[in-house]
Amino acid sequence: MTEAVAIENLSVTFTGGSKPVRAVDGVSLSLGQGEVLALLGESGSGKSVTLRSLLRLHPPKRSRMTGSIRVAGRDVLELSPGELADFRGGVVSMIFQEPMLALDPVYTVGAQITEAIRRHEKISAADARKRALALFERVRIPSPDRRLDAYPHEMSGGMRQRAMIALALACRPSVLLADEPTTALDATVQIQILLLLRELQRELGLSIIFVTHDIGVAVEIADRIAVMYAGRVVESGSVRDVIRGPRHPYTRGLLASRVERAQKGDRLETIPGSPPDLTALPPGCAFAPRCSLAAPQCREIVPPLAEVGPAHTAACIRVAETV
């Protein structure tokens, strides 16, 4: 499989506050052509920051990025401002959790899509509108011609999300980044959007990185899962391997605490404590203070990701205990 995205040792530090915050710490990930990767993690795990790094959306004056991100053979961190503008939307584009904030409230959605197409390609306004109409049909918006002239506030939540997907696909990107695009939706609408993304991915051969905190959503959409904790990838593998045979104690805890497994009246298994403060990370494994398997050594060295099975890695020195 050719690689669509290759992230090597990416670190992102935000320097705007009183203390620097290392939100992403040495993340390496790869995404194959036509593959869907879910980045799973809790708030503050660095999953969204990793995603946004691919489009260099962090404020340059208040953040520091090191490492390398290669998309379609080009190093994203080396792009000039002009190249970056072509790159955004043209090669990689993104959909967000809240379409109401991502879409411009004072232009119709049709105008926003045709503007994006004409920014990237030499094409007449009429042809751009035809493309926009085809996109609306593609994302299954009913009465698409009329909807192109609607403002974002005139659409329902699910419809806005579809319009945003149409906008993201307007310039035929090869990589789509999705930052919790279904979290704010009702379950009945969420499953529609997940199925739509899966269909688009199949038909257009898109490579997708999908950020979510919801294991069920990751299972529905992804081929592979990378679990993040405190800015690092702690486990990565195929959906089947990670869900059925998790090896990192954090992934195991997360899966064990799911209410779906429990019977009414049971006590849920829990991970004690709460996610760590990124400004004051403990030395060694960031999960050690909450981990039942932690050994003295865990508090000294940061465990590297190591192979625990075919295409399945975990960053834990006690993996021998988690078979």
Beta-bridge partners for 88: 92
Residues found near other proteins in the complex (CB under 8 A): 42-43, 142, 156-159, 186-192, 194-195, 213-217, 219-220, 239-240, 243, 253-254, 257-260, 262, 264-265, 267-272, 274-275
Closest distance of CB 41 from other proteins, Å: 9
Provide the H-helix boundaries in 44-98: 47-53, 81-90
Closest distance of CB 202 from other proteins, Å: 13
**CB-nearer residue toward other proteins: 114 or 236:** 236
Question: What is the Cα–Cα distance from 102 to 100, expressed in whole angstroms?
Answer: 6
Question: What is the Cα–Cα distance from 273 to 268, expressed in whole angstroms?
Answer: 15
Beta strands 207-212 and 36-40: pairing type? parallel
**CB-nearer residue toward other proteins: 187 or 323:** 187
Sign of CA dihedral 291, 271, 219, 27: negative
**CB-nearer residue toward other proteins: 9 or 270:** 270
> How does DSSP classify residue 323?
-
Closest distance of CB 265 from other proteins, Å: 8
Question: What is the Cα–Cα distance from 169 to 206, expressed in whole angstroms?
Answer: 10
The SS3 call for residue 128 is helix
**CB-nearer residue toward other proteins: 38 or 319:** 38
Closest distance of CB 70 from other proteins, Å: 29
**CB-nearer residue toward other proteins: 261 or 299:** 261
Closest distance of CB 214 from other proteins, Å: 7
Beta strands 232-238 and 36-40: pairing type? unpaired
